[in-house]
């Protein structure tokens, strides 16, 4: 018994005593149910606390989020409920050596994907060389013919990337998907840290955690670096507005960077330049960090019913008068069918093996894969290639027969529209549930910035599937999040923070 520190150090009512890993890979505990070495100090902290104490801190953290209005709107009810993203107090820890691998792996991936984007919008060598079926690329909904032949500043298309990593039952990390259009969540990454420091500073004792506060400044540097005119460019953030679920994040980032947050109605295009209406008359804009999807950016080029965008913006963009982050047309590279090709893309452009593996992916567009997928729907996760946020998804083992039959029909009708992957037993992490700890499945979304160089913020948004047994971590589907600590190279012994 004495060998188990959870038991040895536990007073009455220690909330970790009852915890069970349930046979999953647990981020905090090893197979023998002992804390992993880097979690030992944290487990020691938790062991000294009673359930009421943990509950009190949890309530304080929730209050802090609500008071700051760190909320998102799922239902578009003007009077209605703004929800806080459920925040779990117990941080997720990453060892420095594992983080180094993640960092290198993401840099490799993002560089390769940008070479891929430059290629498919110019010479299309990768298609000519037969490495990827042209139909997959040119038929993708994210492919924008308007971009063909256009040179973007620094040759970079995806300035902000959020890739989702998961760990399977063996503890191996995989990339589950890349978000190359307008990834969100970074404000929660930063706020989670701030709130945890405020509500439970003692947890940080004995840990040297790498700070995440630098993200907005790094982002601003990237945005300034892509300006058409290098002299003191005017950078703005374009938000769809207050009813967007990520509105808090838009305001957060604009404020942290000291730039204007604008809406489509604030902007207009005149003679190929983009301006905003200000109290001092018009002001020219050089760079737009847009959090509006391609489809809504410019009613003249894309969806004509969009009131979120700016008429003529694409013309200004094509003339090089204004830069957009991310560039238009990056959606082709996070099409889930293209995702399956990323290892090939890395090998093709960089001549390297992928550092971070992909999850095994079947493309029903291929006849053999399709047959396999239709035969094994009860084991697979099927995803629509164009959806995100956990929509348009079938989790085979959790689905009913009629749901599986429905997806089988959909796949037969439109094989290009879907991919399938084995159902991963995602790793779990202890989470505070009502009045005790329970394991919940988690993933990790680190954020990668790419301007003159690639910068990966040391941390990430650990998303939590709040419902017991659920594998869906998306905030729109009731997921929550945790603070994520990347431990400094000096190891956990150095005191203070």
Note the residues at the interface with other proteins (CB under 8 A).
Answer: 66-69, 237, 242, 250-252, 254-255, 260-263, 265-266, 276-282
Judged by beta carbon, residue 78 or residue 496, the one nearer other proteins is 78
Give just the sign of the alpha carbon dihedral 486, 176, 156, 224: negative
CA 31/CA 239 separation, integer angstroms:
46
**Least distance to other proteins from the beta carbon of 315, Å?**
22
Q: How far is CA 316 from CA 122, 272, 274, 310, in A?
A: 20, 5, 7, 10
> In whole angstroms, how close is the CB of 197 to other proteins at the nearest point?
16
d(CA 328, CA 50): 52
Q: Which is nearer to other proteins, 121 or 247 (CB)?
A: 247
CB of 248 to other proteins, least distance (A): 8
Task: Specify the residue, 254 or 346, whose C-beta has the smaller distance to other proteins.
Answer: 254
Q: Which of residues 21 and 199 has its CB atom nearest to other proteins in the complex?
A: 199
Cβ-based nearer residue to other proteins, 191 or 443: 191
Q: Residue 392 is encoded by which pair of tokens?
A: 């348009």
Q: Kindly state the smallest distance separating residue 279's Cβ from other proteins, in Å.
A: 5
* Minimum distance of other proteins from residue 432's CB (angstroms): 23
The nearer residue to other proteins, 130 or 281, going by C-beta atoms, is 281
Q: How far is the CB of 76 from other proteins (least distance, A)?
A: 15
d(CA 121, CA 123): 7
> How far apart are CB 160 and other proteins at their closest, in Å?
18
- Residue with smaller CB distance to other proteins, 73 or 314: 73
Closer residue to other proteins in complex, CB, 282/467: 282
Helix axes 186-199, 51-67, angle to 10 degrees: 130
**Nearest-approach distance from CB 241 to other proteins, in angstroms:** 8
Residue 330 contacts residue 117 (beta carbons within 8 Å)? yes
């Amino acid at each position: 018994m004495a060998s188990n520190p959870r038991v040895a150090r536990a007073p009455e009512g220690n909330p970790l005593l009852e915890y069970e890993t349930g046979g999953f890979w647990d981020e905090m505990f090893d197979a023998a149910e002992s804390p992993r070495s880097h979690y030992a100090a944290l487990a020691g902290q938790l062991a000294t606390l009673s359930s009421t104490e943990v509950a009190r801190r949890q309530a304080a953290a929730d209050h802090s989020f609500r008071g700051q209005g760190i909320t998102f709107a799922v239902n578009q009810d003007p009077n209605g409920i703004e929800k806080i993203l459920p925040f779990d107090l117990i941080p997720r820890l990453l060892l420095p050596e594992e983080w180094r691998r993640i960092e290198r792996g993401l840099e490799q991936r993002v560089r390769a994907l940008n070479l891929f984007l430059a290629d498919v919008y110019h010479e299309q060598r990768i298609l000519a060389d037969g490495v990827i079926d042209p139909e997959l690329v040119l038929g993708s909904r994210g492919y924008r013919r308007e971009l063909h032949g256009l040179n973007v500043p620094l040759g970079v298309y995806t300035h902000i990337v959020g890739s989702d990593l998961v760990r399977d039952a063996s503890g191996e990390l995989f990339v589950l998907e890349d978000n190359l259009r307008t990834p969100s969540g970074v404000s929660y990454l930063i706020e989670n840290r701030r709130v945890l420091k405020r509500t439970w500073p003692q947890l940080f004792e004995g840990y040297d955690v790498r700070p995440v506060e630098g993200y907005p400044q790094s982002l601003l540097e990237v945005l300034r670096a892509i300006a058409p005119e290098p002299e003191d460019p005017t950078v703005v953030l374009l938000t769809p507005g207050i009813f967007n679920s990520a509105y808090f994040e838009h305001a957060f980032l604009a404020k942290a960077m000291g730039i204007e947050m604008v809406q489509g109605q604030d902007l207009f295009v005149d003679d190929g330049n983009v301006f905003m209406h200000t109290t001092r008359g018009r002001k020219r804009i050089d760079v737009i960090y847009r959090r509006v999807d391609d489809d809504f950016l410019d009613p003249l080029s894309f969806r004509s019913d969009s009131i979120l965008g700016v008429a003529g913006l694409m013309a200004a963009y094509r003339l090089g008068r204004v830069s957009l982050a991310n560039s238009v047309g990056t959606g082709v590279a996070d099409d889930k069918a293209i995702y399956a090709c990323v290892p090939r893309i890395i090998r093709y452009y960089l001549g390297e093996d992928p550092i971070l593996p992909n999850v095994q992916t079947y493309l029903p567009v291929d006849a053999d894969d399709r047959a396999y997928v239709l035969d094994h729907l009860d084991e697979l996760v099927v995803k629509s290639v164009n959806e995100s946020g956990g929509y348009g998804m079938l989790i085979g083992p959790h689905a009913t027969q009629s749901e599986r039959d429905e997806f089988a029909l959909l796949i037969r009708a439109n094989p290009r529209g879907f991919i399938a992957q084995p159902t991963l037993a995602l790793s779990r992490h202890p989470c505070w549930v009502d009045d005790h700890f329970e394991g919940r499945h988690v993933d990790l979304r680190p954020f990668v910035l790419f301007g003159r160089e690639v910068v990966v913020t040391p941390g990430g948004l650990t998303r939590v599937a709040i419902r017991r047994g659920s594998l869906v971590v998306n905030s729109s589907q009731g997921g929550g999040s945790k603070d994520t600590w990347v431990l400094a190279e000096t190891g956990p012994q150095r005191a203070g923070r």
